Structure 1
């Protein structure tokens, strides 16, 4: 299969004001939704190059040019777009009045440039002044000269300008792309000093990579985020979702976490996102005995609004401390979306069940003790064996606090009890001696009570769910 013909687009803002660093990053992110590679034009703060090679399936040159202009408009900037096979022709196409998108057909660059002003051709000021003194005003005027005479009189710079005026432009601002690899990249001019502008670009990078994978019916398994640091080695960070996913919101959250995980090692000149490993979408094969596992991507996507409102603490895991008392066994550590993989972890494939082995269901969490802020004094009637037979919870405390789910049992209720578990220690502090019992109401409510060894009083530590 022959390689696709090289095509490049130039996007030029019509505004006379230069966008700031954040606006430039946001605009680059918007342009990435229409083209996989975007680079600012050096020395022109209101212009960008976009690699549109091989995008015939996206509406052709005209369709891609319109998409780039519309992307700039979504970012809040009016722009003109030009598409051609060379940089000089694409840049000239953005300067046509009354036309938002101009496409130069392949091979028509010399004819198109013939009537354009020499102002679009980059050259040293003294060479430009000499050509003006000779009365050369258009690209056609310069291109009509004999190249040997141009080189003899004006040297290598003059010959280079002559070639550009005829559309013979070998410049290409993008690094060669690896064949068959889904990738997207954007450059910054000037370099960005902090990670904040990167967040404006990540969405566009992800959309461009997913679009390339979609054409092959593939989804990313592992992504590589490369930050090109000025005067230093590339800063490479890996993104691996809990399960291969094409959910852009999930990947954006993972990329953001990868950026925030470590500070930037220096000013960043560019960023690229590469699908390092690809896969296909899959679903679990369900059976009659195992609870279905939620898709990590779907769960991640559903929890993103929760994280946005309540922070990473909305999903926390217990950190064991190895203390004696139940209230000191563990603390909570915020995990955020990093903890989703553990919640949705499936059993190893091929795991066999046996009649005498306990069945471990996926996504079935162990009972969790919900402790009260302070142990609640309760009345307990003991039986002949000093086991708690009835529990009396004060009526004012007979409901879960802070909007919890469900409620405590009636004020006085008979109970089934399991225990005791006697714990003592902490002599170096105030000293503790307690006798713990797990109690169950007739309705199935599970609680944890204890008798204080010093006073003999009973307290409710919390409940299980």
Structure 2
């Protein structure tokens, strides 16, 4: 079993107490060097970091220097102590000569022997009694016989003797699941808004990606856990379109997961766990075919679009199988989940086979842009009953949201295709329409229909 190692990161005493936002920002910076960081309870300028099993990152000294450097990048000068127990790690931050002090494993009692007894968290009356007995250092207390200490000072005295002896069973972190890439940070005091979460998300993601990188893996699905006071954990799923190690994409998805629902209460901690892992993949491109777009690059390019227009900015057509153009298909928002389908889409020429393949390359089929509601228009027909002139009232020319823009108030058609007569839905309201496709001299293509029961004409939409 890997021996536990813990680091204490403490800002110098003259430094002011950190505000919640600054404390969260410093926690996020420290996550770049250690996977789990929490504030020291009751101390406004100190943090614990779990550095167990980090021999591959330069050992205790290397991790300690990385923690000090992370604090410095955040704008703070910190002292770091690394040891096998909390009391020794905290004591190591009191050395002014060196910024990083490592207490070797098993040497905690020897290290504490000459340290001040003021480092031991004990009740004030017990501290006063020990001072009256002339005890000034941890070694003075540790030299006593434990049975006599318990007899005279009770359980509190025996607990103080154990701490002075380096026997500290306190451990501020929950047990970590073996083999799972995870990172966590706590808030002291608990936060009431999601704003401080943004300071630590980048550190959490960087820590998880660093752990997976050592195993040549990338995340396929992440689990964001918000630990709420006096309530069950608030668990939110983060699933990229494809397994990706792009920190910007994952940060955007995590922010969306946080903003998707309001906080259930005061949050005292947050953790990010790699729920599913994917293998890093390098595809061999075909020299004779256009390569598929990279999902990570697509996601990064679409981030501003999603931020402005929401998940509906990327939609897909859903085929309903109805006869009427207005009911034939609908647009379903896909959000970031639709990026995988875009990345997998092949050029139109590859979707067809045969000798006429080249005809369809680099071309797009016409798309009917339906109006939100059919627009009533005036249509003059010729002797054969075919539309000859379409008249749109000028006050309806500018539709909401830009609409059809510079659509002319009176459109003379030069060609009409139709009629296409559609009827049905007798079990509901019943429908009987006569559809025509019309073309203007300027090349504008529109779809109009005549309603059978009323004889009125309507513009359904136009083709792009």
TM-score per shorter chain, which class?
0.7 to 0.9
Distance in 1, Cα, partners of 2:288 & 2:411:
39
Q: Report what 2:70 is aligned to.
A: 71
The alpha-carbon deviation at position 251 of structure 1 amounts to 1.7
Instruction: Give 1:220 shift.
Output: 1.4
Task: Provide the residue aligned with 1:397 in structure 2.
Answer: none
Instruction: Provide, for residues 232-281 of structure 1, a one-character-per-residue CA deviation record: whole Å limited to 9, x for no partner.
Output: 33222222222111111222222222233333333322222221222202
Alignment partner of 1:199 is 2:202? no
Q: Which runs of 5+ in 1 are unaligned?
A: 394-400, 426-431
Shift in Å at residue 421 of structure 1? 4.1
Shift of 1:90: 1.1
Would the alpha carbon gap of residues 88 and 217 (structure 1) be closer, same or farther in structure 2, given more than 3 Å must change?
A: same
**Match for residue 270 of structure 1?**
269
Give the secondary structure class of the aligned counterpart of 1:197.
helix
Task: Please report the RMSD computed on the Cα atoms of aligned residues, expressed in angstroms.
Answer: 4.7
1:366–1:226 CA distance, 2 compared to 1 (3 A):
farther
CA distance in 2, matches of 1:384, 1:282: 66
C-alpha displacement of 1:314:
4.1
Q: Distance in 1 between matches of 2:184 and 2:456?
A: 68
Structure 1 counterpart of 2:230: 231
Counterpart in 2 of 1:142?
Answer: 141
Tell me the residue number matched to 2:428.
none
Cα 1:74–1:332, aligned 2, differ >3 Å: closer, same or farther?
farther
Q: Partner residue of 1:33?
A: 32
What TM-score results when the alignment is normalised by the length of structure 1?
0.76
* 2:413 and 2:438 in contact (8 A); partners too: no
CA gap of 1:390–1:285, structure 2 versus 1, over 3 A, is farther
**Displacement of 1:322 after TM fit?**
10
Provide the residue aligned with 2:171 in structure 1.
Answer: 172
89-98 or 435-444: bigger deviation: 435-444
TM-score, normalised with respect to structure 2: 0.76
Q: CA deviation at 1:388?
A: 7.6
**Aligned residue runs from structure 1 range 210-229, under 5 A:** 210-229=209-228
Aligned-pair distance for 1:98? 4.9
In 1, the alpha carbon distance for the partners of 2:45 and 2:38 equals 11
Q: What is the DSSP-based 3-state SS (H/G/I as helix, E as strand, rest coil) of the residue aligned with 2:115?
A: coil
Residue 2 of structure 2 is matched in structure 1 by 4
Q: Specify whether residues 10 and 418 from structure 1 end up closer, same or farther in structure 2 by C-alpha distance, changes over 3 A only.
A: farther
Q: How far, CA to CA, are the matches of 1:189 and 1:220 in structure 2?
A: 29
Shift of 1:364: 9.9
Partner of 1:247: 246
User: Structure 1 residue 343: deviation in Å?
Assistant: 3.3
Rounded to whole Å, the distance in 2 between the matches of 1:443 and 1:281 is: 52
SS in 1 for 2:172: coil
1:87 CA displacement: 0.9
Q: Partners in 2 of 1:364 and 1:83 — Cα distance?
A: 64
Q: Which moved more, 1:98-107 or 1:313-322?
A: 313-322
Correspondence 1:6-405 to 2 at 5 A:
6-14=4-12, 16-282=15-281, 292-308=291-307, 311-312=310-311, 314-316=313-315, 336-344=335-343, 367-370=366-369
Q: 1:135 to 1:311 in 2, by over 3 A?
A: same
Question: How far has the Cα of 1:214 moved from its partner?
Answer: 0.4
Aligned residue pairs total: 451
SS at match of 1:33: coil
Using the TM superposition, name which of 225-234 and 434-443 deviates more.
434-443
Stretch moving more, 211-220 or 60-69: 60-69
